[in-house]
Amino acid sequence: MSIKIGDTIPKTTINVVKDGIQATDSATFFADKKVVLFAVPGAFTPTCSAKHLPGFIEHLDSFSKRGIEVACVSVNDGFVMAAWGKAQNAPENLHLLADGNAEFTKALGLELDASGFGMGIRSQRFALYADNGVVKALFVEAPGEFKVSSAEHVLANI
């Protein structure tokens, strides 16, 4: 079952890519703050690299002005996420989260079987807004789409 509005972010291990790779639990990461989390099926993939992450980088100040932190999660290891962040010139205040074993993604109920594309289990493309770990808005893309999880759509709807 997929997470829904009003649910609390499930507690799992997530790796924060900042000054190395630091394991933390998701409850701690989301505690006492407002966070927009967007998920991409994979670092270095076309839509993720050309549109999804760049859109959030472009609008990061708009989220910050509202007191909202922004995080990107992908079912990739921390080294890949670090390299992708560097390649994309992701600012330090945009949190990159590595979910290499899809533990967090599966706990959210938002996994995607991309085995047909040689990618294994990945995350669906989505964005959510959480306040102190409680989901206040959730935007899950239809397969192959990139609309509702864009930075522009999220900004307009939270």
User: Would you place residue 119 in the very low, low, confident or very high pLDDT band (cuts 50, 70, 90)?
Assistant: confident
- In whole angstroms, what is the distance from residue 47 CA to residue 100 CA? 20
User: Would you place residue 117 in the very low, low, confident or very high pLDDT band (cuts 50, 70, 90)?
Assistant: confident
Residue 15 CA to chain centroid, in angstroms? 12
User: Over 90: is that where the pLDDT of 121 sits?
Assistant: no
Into how many domains does the chain fold? 1
- How many other CB atoms are found less than 10 A from the CB of residue 113? 10
- In whole angstroms, what is the distance from residue 72 CA to residue 92 CA? 12
Structural domain includes residue 27? yes
Tell me which residue range forms the domain holding 138: 13-157
How high is the pLDDT of residue 122? 83
pTM of the entire predicted model: 0.94
Choice among 35, 48, 81, 97 that is catalytic = 48
Structural domain includes residue 53? yes
Whether the Cβ atoms of residue 145 and residue 39 lie closer than 8 Å to each other: no
Tell me the pLDDT tens digit for each residue of 44-92.
Answer: 988 888 899 999 999 999 999 999 999 999 999 999 999 999 999 999 9
User: Would you place residue 29 in the very low, low, confident or very high pLDDT band (cuts 50, 70, 90)?
Assistant: very high
| Residue 72 annotated as catalytic | no
